[in-house]
Amino acid sequence: MRPEQGTMQSRAMAMAALLELLTDQPVIICNGFPSREAQKIADRPTHFYMIGSMGSAAAIALGVALSKPNKQVIVFDGDGNVLMGMGTLATVGALKPKNFIHVVFDNEVYGTTGNQPTISNVVPLEKVAKAAGYVNVERVREREDLVYEFKDMLKKDGPSMLLVKVNEMVEDAGRVMLDPPDITKRFMQAIK
């Protein structure tokens, strides 16, 4: 059954709930619909929108987290992205950056290319993260649980992974409007 039985929440709804809890933390957002939706929900200079290099969101965030140990760094990732760069779960688990929160919006499909299935319906990514050495991992479906666990992770030492099961609904959001070099400059300035 797909998406996971009982999953009613869309990624955009889940993302909006999380963005309400964030202020000036650096957020790295994976390519495809997640970046477009985040830009529509709340465009902040502390957002780094990926438009390509699928699979790299967590690695970019890791570079930021290691270089800015006093800032909590958030990744908004997808199941297809995590599967593509799964080695990075091991790197994060081994290096154990305390300031690293990895949110995975898991809709079990490659949404941007037409909802072809991923394999996250049978591979529990939060368990992979736990086995790799993430300190806190949670899997949630409901909005209340999502908000509760995310608030909790913001208070804890990481690395943490919050996997949120979402449905395949996509927000009507246009492409990322900023030019890539401007995204870089704006983000660098904002996290100084």
Partner 1 sequence: MIESDTFVQALQDIGVDFFTGVPDSILGGIIAELMERRLYTPAVREDEAVAMAAGAYMAGKIPAVLMQNSGLGTSLNTLISLNYIYQQPCILIVSWRGQGGKDAPEHLVMGEVMPQFLDTMKIPHRTLTEKTAIDDLKWVAETFMKKRIPVALNITKGVVKGLHP
Question: Which chain residues interact with partner 1 by CB under 8 A?
Answer: 28, 48, 50-53, 55-56, 59-68, 85, 87-88, 90-91, 95, 180-181, 183-184, 187-188, 191-192
Angle at which helix 57-67 crosses helix 87-95, to 10 degrees, equals 20
Tell me the closest approach of the beta carbon of residue 92 to partner 1, in angstroms.
Answer: 10
**Residue with smaller CB distance to partner 1, 109 or 132:** 132
- Could you list the beta-strand ranges (E) of the chain: 27-29, 47-49, 73-78, 100-106, 109-110, 116-117, 136-140, 160-165
Sign of the Cα torsion 35, 117, 55, 19 reads positive
- The least distance separating partner 1 from the CB of residue 37, rounded to whole angstroms, comes to 20
Task: Please state the closest distance from residue 97 (CB atom) to partner 1, in A.
Answer: 10
User: For residues 3 and 34, which CB has a smaller minimum distance to partner 1 in the complex?
Assistant: 34
The minimum distance between CB 31 and partner 1, in angstroms, equals 9
Residue with tokens 């704006």: 186
Respond yes or no on whether the N-terminal peptide bond of residue 97 is cis (omega within 30° of 0).
no
Taking the least distance from each CB to partner 1, the nearer of 15 and 58 is 58
Handedness of CA 42, 166, 155, 123 (dihedral sign): negative
Nearer of residues 78 and 85 to partner 1, judged by Cβ:
85
- 162 vs 191, which CB is nearer to partner 1? 191
Those residues with Cβ within 8 angstroms of residue 184's Cβ, 6 or more apart along the chain or in another chain: 48
| Distance of closest approach, residue 187 Cβ to partner 1, in angstroms | 6
Report DSSP state, residue 185: H
